[in-house]
Amino acid sequence: MPFFRDTIYILFLPVLLIYVVLSRLRGHPPRKGVAERLGYGKFLTPHPKRILLHAVSVGEVNAIKSLCSDLQKQGYEVVICVTTDTGISRANELYSQSCTVTRYPFDFSCAVKRFLNRIQPTIVALVELEVWPNFVSGCSQRNIPIVIINGRLSERSFKRYKLARLVLKSTFKRITAIGMQNESYAQRVRTLGSERVSVHGTMKWDNAIISDHIPGDKELAEALHIDRNKPLVVAGSTTPEEHLMLKECVPIGVQLLCAPRRPEWFDAAAIALSPCNRRTSEQRTDTDYFLLDTIGELDKAYSLADIVVIGRSFVPLHGSDPTVPIALGKPTIIGKNASDFEDMVNVLVKRNGLIQCTKEELKDKLQLLLEDSDLRESLGTNGRAVIQEHQGATTCYEELIMEHTPDA
């Protein structure tokens, strides 16, 4: 079977090559860490309770903060492996002082074998649902339990998985336990052949820290020359299509800070927001427009905001997590394209802790919030209450991991 799966991947290589070439033509940076993706790297000495947490990208890396700390308190040695370049950068920033951070291997049997030989995990936890056949098979052959935590399977991903249903059925049966965020996701996984499925909610509620400010926010304001006496709209995880829209929607005299989702979008954002003060540039001008072109400082920007707009939700890209600014008490607006966070958005909107609108309505919603301080305050209060009510999933996933960890 590994030979069969490797053959499928090899046949797919021309498609992958075309994708890489097109990405480079579009200005995307080349992928890094190829040696680690092939399974090479530092060999770890054996440990009786070593957990490998696989977090695909920045969102998953951020989601496991509380879980990682809790597992270490329970005596686990934590290894975090990540797929994307931005994710590995964020993981190093958050965890490199206390955990081993590495890259997830390509799903070739030889790469998986090298990776498992050097990491030697006692148990593996896949965050959200990143299932690769050779990796799961490699762990199964070594009797390494695999659990899925904070599992999520959107409708569009489910359609792709169903295309490979016959191949993946045996893969899902090898997974020890699957913890999903809601019953809809759980039912989709059962359709793919999984039996040991349970529902525990999402850890993303748990990482929203109820606080009035984030350390370092004032320093960020000073570095960018943000005027603390003027209103500031912060738009997080934005896309190229949203930058000009936001600039047009924010009233004259109100400051706008944009934090693009991807580094390859930084330069285009600087042009769209011109003249703007850019975080990584030393040049400063008298402007109302600011560009946060760094990874890991968005929480500080949210802490400075009078109003927050959630990016990737006014274009068909499925939204971003709205809970961090809401936990800071910030009145927050999200677009209609937020399917990746549908459950969270629905309950927040229903409880008047979040405003959801179309891009055509955004300008009026911003004006309304700028003029109505009572509405801003009530949104923050209601949103915080919803977050506090829904926290606790991390503990459930921690218990799922401990339940299936082999005895030392």
The H or E element containing residue 147 is: strand 146-151
For 176-280, where are the E strands, in sequence order? 177-180, 197-199, 232-238, 255-260, 277-278
| Pairing of β 177-180 and β 197-199 | parallel
- Which domains, from first to last, does the chain contain? 30-206+392-404 (3.40.50.11720), 217-390 (3.40.50.2000)
283 token code pair: 């040049």
pLDDT digits (tens, 9 = 90+) for 342-355: 889 999 999 999 99
Residue found under tokens 């400010």: 213
Residue 57 has pLDDT above 90, yes or no: no
pLDDT digits (tens, 9 = 90+) for 272-289: 999 999 999 999 999 999
Cβ contact 83:60 at 8 Å: no
Average pLDDT over residues 190-217: 91
How far is it, in rounded angstroms, from Cα 338 to Cα 341?
Answer: 6
How far is it, in rounded angstroms, from Cα 181 to Cα 204?
Answer: 10
Residue 387 has pLDDT above 50, yes or no: yes
Burial, 259: exposed, middle or buried (Cβ in 10 Å; 0-12, 13-18, 19+)?
buried
The residues, ordered by sequence, that sit 6+ positions from 92 with a Cβ below 8 Å of its Cβ are 101
How far is it, in rounded angstroms, from Cα 256 to Cα 230?
Answer: 10
Across-strand partners of 334? 310, 356
Average pLDDT over residues 67-92: 93
8-state DSSP, 106: P
Residue 317 has pLDDT above 90, yes or no: no
Across-strand partners of 102? 81
What's the pLDDT at 19?
A: 45
Burial, 19: exposed, middle or buried (Cβ in 10 Å; 0-12, 13-18, 19+)?
exposed
Q: Tell me which residue of 377, 385, 309, 320 sits closest to 350, measured CA to CA.
A: 385
Higher model confidence: residue 206 or residue 382?
Answer: 382
The residues, ordered by sequence, that sit 6+ positions from 184 with a Cβ below 8 Å of its Cβ are none
17 token code pair: 């090559």
pLDDT digits (tens, 9 = 90+) for 287-305: 999 999 998 899 999 999 9
The residues, ordered by sequence, that sit 6+ positions from 381 with a Cβ below 8 Å of its Cβ are 329
Against a cut of 0.85, is the pTM above it?
Answer: no
How far is it, in rounded angstroms, from Cα 196 to Cα 310?
Answer: 35
Average pLDDT over residues 61-69: 90
Q: Tell me which residue of 73, 123, 127 sits closest to 98, measured CA to CA.
A: 73
Q: Per-residue confidence at 18, pLDDT binned at 50, 70, 90?
A: low
What's the pLDDT at 175?
A: 95
How far is it, in rounded angstroms, from Cα 406 to Cα 142?
Answer: 12
How far is it, in rounded angstroms, from Cα 12 to Cα 8?
Answer: 6
Q: Tell me which residue of 259, 356, 224 sits closest to 58, measured CA to CA.
A: 259
How far is it, in rounded angstroms, from Cα 395 to Cα 392?
Answer: 6
How far is it, in rounded angstroms, from Cα 177 to Cα 200?
Answer: 12
CA 84 to chain centre: 11
Q: What is the secondary structure of 333-369 as a DSSP string? A: EE-S--GGGHHHHHHHHHTTS-EE--TTTHHHHHHHH
